[in-house]
């Protein structure tokens, strides 16, 4: 016969499995918007970068390429991030392909796996909270976590990204550390080292998923020191030994990793990848723990406070001096990490995800925006942490409890500084929510009558939970309508046109080999260009961590034709995509260290509300002339200079939402860098020569192309053509029929072939 304890354990396990299954189902709700009859879509451009890497690993299984020319062409990109997540995804897809095949099989599996992988977090999360709050509250908190919009968004169908693994890695690490705190080193023999050593391995594994996880190490290190200073003579040494084993294990694994370099990251002292920086951090953590132990031992021996502080500080200072001599790059890694975490990095400042938590989309302080995006549980969490932090509560609590409180405050502070940490802070939010709801239930259960007490407690706690979730009602209602960001429609058509209508580049599955040319666009388009169009991109979703972002910024802010074409040529660009880039221009200027003003100005609309409109510097840009006027000269109402050396080759079907300009402007335009045909003839010196034609685009839109020159004193003239002549009724962009070449008062028709335009032919004109 089963005991009540066994029955309770079975019920808890069943409840946890039900939460896991419910979480997967909730995140699968919009699956039909991503897995369609027309193909498989992913949520964001970053996700396509992961899909491409999974495809490359599957093609070269199990090897991950050490260099990638498709990112940051023509320089290419080494493994600047740890590909551990992509490798795990590739291994899982490869295993599942044995059971599921067919068209879009890889894309479908990559789209469907995030909810399953993301929901694995409920298991270590439950066990972590059980150490401090018991099974019932841990189970309730797991259910709250499943409902958190921040967690749903990062683990929903169609969003394969390392962000989904970060809470899982954090929960595993925090559970193992809390488990090691039950009775530090109470076991005998090698068993006493097992859990803290596993904690060290988990700490190392966490940075394989995300560079920011090194701050979780800091939280654990801070808690170890806190326990050492607040414990009695018999127990502080156990916490010290626990910490030394944890960070010693991190150091050993980091040392092996850096020596073997399995992902060919060429570890220096880089904060962004697993490197010698992390080895030094772990060794210095051990030194800090040992320095604290020397101080405490000195005080126990009756030495003066000042002498004891000096004793411990000298040991720590000596460690720092040693690394300052043998590893000066470590301190550059600290500076790099501080910029990323604290918002000092110019590129990350332009990304909404890296803004402080209590801000809106514009970066202004806001309580409503995070309330709507993260439920009222977000604002409840600090109050619960305050209640849990009361001295009377902490004094009688277990070490695992104080670690939860410390990690809660640390992650709250990090999220307030940098919203990127909300992904893991959501664990704390859910835990505090579970504790709060459980407290309501316990209070009502104790105050009510014997029959109704449990029922009333459940009803009131559920009502409070619904009220706390209600501010995010729009998120839950919109879950069924969640769509891939930007890619469906015109952008997809544009990318597939590039893939099918332009010369293919080589080595898609062997990106360590250099392909023929690249495509320039905004950095956000990088993943789409690389996977859907299957072309190398210059600017990438990794921003300033790869080549291309600064060149892309210079490209979009160029005001001179020669400067513009030099940027195109030095980056091996054959095609570039233009769209409305108005809002990004000040950010590009900041990236280049330039004055960001003048591109946008604010004016009141009809209701008096301030809106952004184009500033005077916007119309000085080469890309503006190309996008708004197809690179043709216009004198009024807004003057545009003619731009040579490029031609429009494609425009998307739909009109842009740009307003106030003459003619229809399409949403996306693709231009090609061409040498152009040079037409050489003779005329009287000083005679004006004009070459004109009607260009008709692939969408049937017509515009005039006009080039002008004057015959030299020798009577010779050269005039350039950048569009071929094409037959009537076709879909290729070009001059319909023939050019009109006008020399003085005479005119004649002229045909120019595609080969002449591409090869830069010099055509001698008779007569």
Categorize the per-residue pLDDT at 742 as very low, low, confident or very high, splitting at 50, 70 and 90. Answer: very high
Please report the DSSP string for 514-537 in residue order.
Answer: --S-EEE--GGGHHHHHHTS---B
Query: Given a cut of 80, is residue 747 above it in pLDDT?
Result: yes
State both tokens at 209.
């998923």
Average pLDDT of the segment spanning 481-493:
91
Q: Which of 404-408, 453-457, 511-515, 679-683 shows the lowest mean pLDDT across its residues?
A: 453-457
Report the pLDDT value the prediction gives residue 513, as an integer from 0 to 100.
96
CA separation for the pair 646, 632 (Å, rounded): 11
- Which parts of 92-221 are beta strand (E)? none
Quickly count: other Cβ atoms within 10 Å of residue 506's Cβ: 10
Contacts of 328 (CB under 8 A, 6+ apart): none
Check pLDDT > 60 for residue 465. Answer: yes
Mean pLDDT of 468-472: 95
- In the 8-state DSSP scheme, what is residue 476? H
Residue 341: pLDDT band by 50, 70, 90 thresholds?
A: low
Quote the pLDDT of residue 515. Answer: 97
Residue 344 above 60 pLDDT? no
Residues linked to residue 719 through DSSP beta bridges, in sequence order? 679
What does the chain come to in residues? 767
Distance between alpha carbon 316 and the CA centroid of its chain, in Å?
A: 37
CB-based contact 667:655 (threshold 8 Å): yes
- Give 336's pLDDT tier (boundaries 50, 70, 90): low
Q: Which two tokens stand for residue 649?
A: 């080759």
Nearest-CA neighbor of 577 among 54, 45, 42? 45
What confidence score (pLDDT) does residue 347 get? 62
361 versus 442: the higher-pLDDT residue is 442
Amino acid 340: pLDDT: 59
Q: Tell me the per-residue pLDDT of 690-712, one tens digit each, with 9 for 90 and over.
A: 999 999 999 999 999 999 999 99
Residue 766, pLDDT > 90, answer no
Q: For 646-689, what is each residue's pLDDT tens digit?
A: 999 999 999 988 766 777 899 999 999 999 999 999 999 999 99
Tens digit of each residue's pLDDT (9 = 90 or more) over 93-103 = 999 999 988 88
HEC sequence for 184-212: CCCCCCCHHHHHHHHHHHHHHHHHHHCHH
Note the Cα 221 to chain centre separation in Å. 28
Report the C-alpha dihedral over residues 580, 583, 585, 587, rounded to 10 degrees.
Answer: -140
On whether the CB atoms of residues 57 and 38 are closer than 8 A, the answer is no
Sign of CA dihedral 19, 24, 27, 31: negative
Quote the pLDDT of residue 3: 60
CA angle 35, 37, 38 (to 5 degrees): 95
Give the angle 537-66-76 at the CA atoms, nearest 5°: 25
Pairwise CA distance, residues 163 & 85, whole Å: 10
Average pLDDT over residues 159-175: 95
Give 120's DSSP letter: T
Between 167-176, 247-256, 543-552, the lowest mean confidence (pLDDT) is in 543-552
CA dist 715 → 402, 686, 688, 708, 710 (Å): 90, 8, 11, 15, 9
* Cα 264 to Cα 78: distance, rounded to the nearest angstrom: 8
The Cα angle at residue 134 between residues 133 and 139, in degrees rounded to 5: 95
In the structure encoding, which two tokens stand for residue 193, read together? Answer: 């080292």
**Residue 221 has what pLDDT?**
95
- Alpha carbon distance 560, 568 (integer Å): 13
CA dist 655 and 294 (Å) reads 71
Determine how β-strand 688-696 pairs with β-strand 600-604: unpaired
- Give the closest residue to 417 by CA, choosing from 121, 588, 215, 221: 215
Mean pLDDT of the chain: 89
Decide if 538 contacts 577 (C-beta within 8 A). Answer: no
SS3 213: helix
How sure is the predictor about 451, in pLDDT bands with cuts at 50, 70 and 90?
low
Backbone region of residue 699 per phi and psi (left: phi > 0; alpha: psi in -120 to 50; beta: other values): alpha
Task: List, in sequence order, the alpha helices (H) in 327-398.
Answer: 329-342, 368-374, 377-388, 391-395
* Mean per-residue pLDDT, 27-52: 94
Cα of 460 vs its chain's centroid, Å: 40
* Selected residue with higher pLDDT from 534 and 103: 534
* Confidence check: pLDDT of 123 > 70: yes
As a whole number of Å, the end-to-end CA separation of the chain is 110
By C-alpha distance, which of 360, 338, 363 is closest to 349? Answer: 363
pLDDT digits (tens, 9 = 90+) for 406-437: 999 999 999 998 888 889 999 999 999 999 99
pLDDT at 313: 77
Q: What is the pLDDT of residues 553-584, one digit of tens each?
A: 999 999 999 999 999 999 999 999 999 877 78
Q: Which residue has the higher pLDDT, 332 or 122?
A: 122
CB of 453 closer than 8 Å to CB of 445:
yes
Task: List, in order, residues 6 or more apart from 73 with CB less than 8 Å away.
Answer: 515, 517, 518, 536, 537, 538, 547, 548, 571, 572
- pLDDT at 68 exceeding the cut of 70: yes
Looking only at the bridges linking them, the beta strands covering 725-726 and 734-736 are: parallel
SS3 270: coil
- Give the helix ranges, DSSP H, for 617-656: 622-629
Q: Given this model, what pLDDT does residue 1 score?
A: 47
Query: What is the dihedral sign for C-alpha 186, 188, 192, 193?
Result: positive
Phi-psi region of 670 (alpha: psi -120 to 50; beta: other; left: phi over 0): beta
Q: How far, in Å, CA of 74 to CA of 547, rounded?
A: 8
Alpha carbon distance 179, 400 (integer Å) = 8
Is residue 49 a contact partner of residue 526, using CB atoms and an 8 Å limit?
Answer: yes
pLDDT (0 to 100) of residue 139: 96
Q: Are 285 and 220 in contact (CB under 8 A)?
A: no
Most distant pair of Cα atoms in the chain: their distance: 112
Alpha-helical runs (H) found in 389-477: 391-395, 399-417, 422-447, 453-469, 473-477
Pick from 497, 486, 489, 547: nearest CA to 520 = 547
Q: At what angle do helices 236-260 and 214-230 cross, to 10 degrees?
A: 160
pLDDT over 90 (residue 447): no
Cα 571 from Cα 555, distance rounded (Å)? 10
Pairing of strands 725-726, 610-614: unpaired
The C-alpha angle 203, 207, 211, rounded to 5 degrees, equals: 140
142-158 per-position pLDDT tens digit = 999 999 999 999 999 99
Q: Whose CA is closest to 219, among 433, 414, 431? A: 414
Helical pair 135-147 and 422-447, crossing angle rounded to 10 deg: 130
**Burial of 663 from C-beta contacts in 10 A (0-12 / 13-18 / 19+):** exposed
Q: How many CB atoms lie within 10 A of CB 736?
A: 17
SS3 assignment, position 134 = coil
């Amino acid at each position: 016969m089963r005991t009540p304890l066994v029955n309770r354990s079975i019920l808890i396990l069943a409840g946890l499995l039900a939460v896991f299954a419910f979480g997967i189902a909730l995140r699968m709700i919009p699956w039909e918007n991503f897995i369609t009859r027309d193909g498989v879509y992913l949520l964001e451009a970053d996700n396509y970068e992961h899909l491409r890497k999974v495809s490359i690993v599957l093609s070269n299984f199990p090897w991950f390429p050490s260099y990638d020319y498709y990112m940051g062409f023509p320089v290419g990109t080494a493994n600047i991030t740890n590909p551990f997540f992509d490798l795990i995804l590739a291994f899982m897809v490869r295993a599942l392909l044995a059971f599921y095949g067919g068209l879009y099989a890889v894309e479908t599996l990559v789209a469907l796996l995030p909810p399953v992988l993301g929901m694995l977090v409920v298991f270590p999360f439950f066990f972590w909270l059980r150490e401090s709050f018991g099974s019932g509250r841990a189970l309730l908190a797991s259910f709250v976590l499943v409902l958190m919009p921040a967690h749903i968004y990062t683990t929903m169908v169609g969003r394969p990204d390392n962000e989904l693994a970060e809470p899982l890695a954090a929960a595993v690490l925090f559970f193992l550390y809390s488990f090691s705190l039950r009775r530090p080193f109470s076991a005998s023999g090698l068993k006493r080292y097992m859990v803290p050593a596993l904690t060290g391995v988990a700490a190392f594994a966490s940075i394989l998923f995300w560079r920011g996880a090194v701050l979780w190490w800091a939280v654990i290190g801070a808690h170890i020191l806190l326990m050492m200073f607040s414990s009695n003579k018999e127990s502080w040494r156990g916490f010290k030994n626990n910490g030394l084993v944890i960070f010693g294990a991190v150091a050993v694994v980091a040392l092996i990793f850096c020596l073997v370099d399995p992902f060919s990251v060429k570890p220096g002292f880089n904060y962004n990848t697993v490197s010698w920086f992390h080895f030094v951090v772990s060794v210095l953590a051990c030194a800090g723990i040992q320095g604290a132990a020397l101080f405490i031992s000195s005080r126990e021996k009756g030495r003066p406070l000042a002498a004891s502080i000096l004793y411990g500080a000298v040991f720590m200072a000596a460690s720092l001096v040693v690394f300052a001599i043998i590893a000066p790059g470590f301190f550059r890694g600290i500076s790099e990490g501080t910029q990323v975490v604290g918002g000092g990095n110019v590129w990350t400042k332009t990304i909404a995800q890296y803004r402080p938590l209590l801000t809106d989309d514009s970066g202004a302080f806001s309580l409503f925006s995070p309330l709507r995006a993260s439920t009222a549980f977000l604002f409840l969490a600090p109050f619960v942490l305050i209640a849990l932090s009361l001295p009377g509560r902490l004094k009688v609590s277990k070490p695992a409890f104080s670690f939860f409180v410390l990690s809660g405050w640390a992650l709250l502070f990090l999220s307030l500084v940098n919203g990127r940490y909300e992904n893991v802070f959501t664990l704390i939010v859910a835990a505090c929510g579970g504790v709060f709801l459980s407290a309501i239930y316990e209070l009502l259960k104790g105050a009510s009558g014997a029959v109704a007490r449990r029922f009333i407690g459940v009803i009131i706690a559920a009502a409070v939970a619904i009220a706390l979730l209600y501010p995010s009602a729009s998120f839950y209602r919109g879950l069924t309508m969640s769509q891939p960001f930007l890619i469906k429609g015109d952008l997809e058509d544009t990318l597939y046109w590039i893939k099918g209508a332009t010369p293919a580049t080589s080595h898609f599955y062997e990106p360590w080999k250099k392909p023929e040319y690249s495509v320039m666009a905004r950095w956000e388009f990088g993943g789409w260009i690389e996977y859907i169009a299957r072309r190398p991109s210059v600017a990438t979703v990794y921003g300033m961590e790869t080549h291309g972002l600064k060149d892309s910024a210079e490209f979009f802010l160029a005001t001179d034709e020669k400067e513009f074409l030099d940027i195109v040529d030095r980056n091996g660009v054959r095609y570039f995509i233009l769209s409305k880039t108005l809002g990004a221009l000040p950010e590009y200027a900041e990236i280049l260290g330039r004055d960001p003003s003048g591109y946008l100005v604010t004016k009141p609309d009809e209701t008096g509300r301030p809106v952004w409109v184009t500033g005077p510097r916007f119309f000085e840009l080469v890309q503006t002339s190309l996008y708004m006027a197809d690179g043709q000269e216009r004198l009024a109402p807004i003057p545009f200079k003619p731009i040579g050396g490029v031609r429009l080759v494609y425009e998307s079907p739909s009109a842009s939402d740009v307003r106030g300009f003459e003619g229809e402007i399409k949403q996306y335009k693709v231009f090609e860098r061409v040498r152009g045909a040079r037409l050489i003839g003779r005329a009287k010196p000083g005679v004006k020569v004009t070459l004109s034609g009607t260009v008709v685009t692939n969408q049937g839109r017509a515009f005039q192309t006009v080039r002008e020159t004057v015959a030299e004193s020798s009577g010779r003239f050269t005039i350039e053509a950048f569009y071929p002549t094409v037959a009537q009724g076709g879909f290729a962009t070009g001059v319909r029929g023939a050019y009109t070449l006008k020399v003085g008062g005479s005119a004649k028709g002229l045909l120019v072939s595609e080969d002449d335009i591409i090869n830069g032919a010099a055509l001698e004109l008779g007569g």
